[in-house]
Amino acid sequence: MAERLTAREVVALLADDFREIPYPERQSKPDGPLAWQGYDASRARAAERTGEGESVVCGTARVEGTRAVLIAFEFGFLGGSLGERTGDRLEAAYSYAREHRLPVVPLVATGGSRMQEGMLALSQLQRVARQSALTRAAGLPQIAVLRDPTTGGGWATLGAGADVVLALPGAQVGFAGSRVRPADADPTAYTAEAQVAAGAADAVVRPRELRETLGLWLRLLARPSGGTGDGTADGRTLDTAPAPVPAPLGPADLPATGWDAVRRARSPERPRAQAYLDAYFTHRAAVSGDRCGGTDPGMLCGFGEHGGRTAAYAAQTGTATRPAGYRTATRLIRLADRLGIPVLTLVDTPGAANDAEAERQGVGAAVADLFTTVASARTPITSLLIGEGGSGGALALAAPGNTYATPDSYFSVIAPELAAAILKRPSEEVEATADQLRIRPQDLVELGVIAPPGGRNPHSAAPRPAP
């Protein structure tokens, strides 16, 4: 079990200059809307014990220099449960965030909806979801921190509904609370660590690192152009400043044949995605998981700083991309598009995973969704082919008309070996087939599939690292 800090303690851990947001006053009937005997007495004891008037404390503060609206749950007040008055405070906090164009940070610790208020308490989840949706539509980021415990509707709205989900080690996280699970349920499935493994949360962060980590996320998502984060920006400023693009290469730098291009792309010595990301970004923060139960270590996604500005990245690492990888990239690009942040994609895969499990997980639908997301994005997307470009599984991550290639790459409608097999050619004709497919970088430029080096580009490909 994670250490249970009070609402005020967790705010003090993360932020400076906390100022509460004014709350609306609600006149309640004796013992609440259901006339639940003893409810008023329970509220009074909770207030005396915690010093709070409700289960949430909402206000503004600066986290590592970025101003944000913080929503801190007080678990000591009736288990951090949501009632009508809680909903009043949450709506006021979200409304304030939109009015002042501030990111929202829910610091969640709740057992769910308040039983003593029945369905009126449960309906607060719809109210919270509405406020979250309005805030999302306004182009403002939401970054949740899951404390112990985060269960029930609080997890299913404020927690899992956030753009980025961080969690404290050992925190109990799950839709079902500890007293309502099946008797034989595996308790390890209801932890922060399990939610990260299942793709429902992005990272587990130790308390002593939480302020710095949250500060980085707020800087990346709320101040994408390097502003002050004082709530004066409109949140939709696109980074369109020109950046260097790859210089033209001489014939000696390029693969001589199609098969030479394949060999270079498959070489273990060539630079991989991690090296390109390290060379391009000064700071990075990763998102993880497709929010559908899966993760793919072969797709690196997140946000980083380059030249004081934020860019999103989705990078294949040379493995066959799993359905969860495509869905994670789709999630990332949609978030970047909503926040007005440009995207860099690094293409490097022999193709989409084609095993039976990938089919059961909906690989075709996942690839289709990524194609659609890239095609419809308003924010600039720049792609760099850094290795293998295997069929549609690679093309889905490439920006039409804005894709470049390194000399260590190839792009093909199908792998040369598979093309030869389909054409019933002997194995000794694979290399000649590679030439026929015209898959070298210089062939792709001539065919108009990739852009020639040079020119003006909003967020160009990263510099090529040394092997």
Q: Express as a percent the part of the chain with pLDDT over 70.
A: 91
The confidence score (pLDDT) of residue 453 equals: 74
* DSSP code, position 281: -
Per the CB < 8 A criterion, the answer to whether 411 and 391 are in contact is no
Residue 264 phi, psi (nearest 5): -65, -40
pLDDT tens per residue across span 242-291: 333 444 445 558 999 999 999 999 999 999 999 999 999 999 999 999 99
Q: Distance between CA atoms of 217 and 286, rounded to whole angstroms? A: 9
Asked which of 201-215, 249-263, 350-364 is least confident by mean pLDDT, the reply is 249-263
The larger pLDDT score, comparing residue 234 to residue 277, is at 277
Between helices 363-376 and 323-339, what is the axis angle to 10°? 20
Q: What angle do CA 73, 79, 81 make, to 5 degrees?
A: 70
Q: Check pLDDT > 70 for residue 13.
A: yes
Give me the phi and psi of 10, to 5 degrees please: -70, -35
pLDDT at residue 129, rounded to an integer: 97
Reported as a pLDDT band with limits 50, 70 and 90, residue 127 is very high
Structure letter (DSSP) for residue 113: B
Is residue 467 pLDDT above 60, yes or no?
Answer: no
- pLDDT tier, 229 (very low <50, low <70, confident <90, very high otherwise): low
- Secondary structure of 155-188 in HEC code, one letter for each residue: HHHHHCCCCEEEECCCCEEECCCCCCCCCCCCHH
Q: Which tops the pLDDT comparison, 189 or 124?
A: 124
The pLDDT of residue 188: 84
* pLDDT score for 156: 93
Helix, strand or coil for residue 100? Answer: helix
By DSSP bridging, strand 343-349 and strand 410-412 are unpaired
Share of the chain above pLDDT 90, in %: 82
pLDDT of residue 457 exceeding 80, the answer is no
Is residue 228 predicted with pLDDT exceeding 60? no
pTM above 0.85, yes or no: yes
61 near 11, Cβ under 8 Å? yes
Pairing of strands 56-63, 16-20: antiparallel
Asked if the model's pLDDT at residue 1 lies above 60, the reply is no
- Tell me: pLDDT of 68 over 70: yes
Mean of pLDDT over the chain: 90
* 46, containing H or E segment: helix 39-50
Q: Does residue 108 carry a pLDDT above 80?
A: yes
Confidence of residue 24 (pLDDT cuts 50, 70, 90): confident
Tokens representing residue 98 in the block? 């939109």
Q: Please list, in sequence order, all residues whose beta carbon lies within 8 angstroms of the beta carbon of residue 122, skipping any fewer than 6 positions away.
A: 113, 153
Residue 325 has pLDDT above 80, yes or no: yes
* Structural contact between residues 362 and 164, judged by C-beta atoms closer than 8 angstroms: no
- What was the pLDDT predicted at 73? 97
pLDDT digits (tens, 9 = 90+) for 402-412: 999 999 999 99
Whether the per-residue pLDDT at 456 is higher than 60: the answer is: no
Place of tokens 């008055």: 85
pLDDT at 462: 45
Residues 172, 217: Cα–Cα separation, whole Å: 23
What was the pLDDT predicted at 451?
A: 87
User: How large is the average pLDDT for residues 341-361?
Assistant: 96
Q: Is the pLDDT of residue 332 over 50?
A: yes
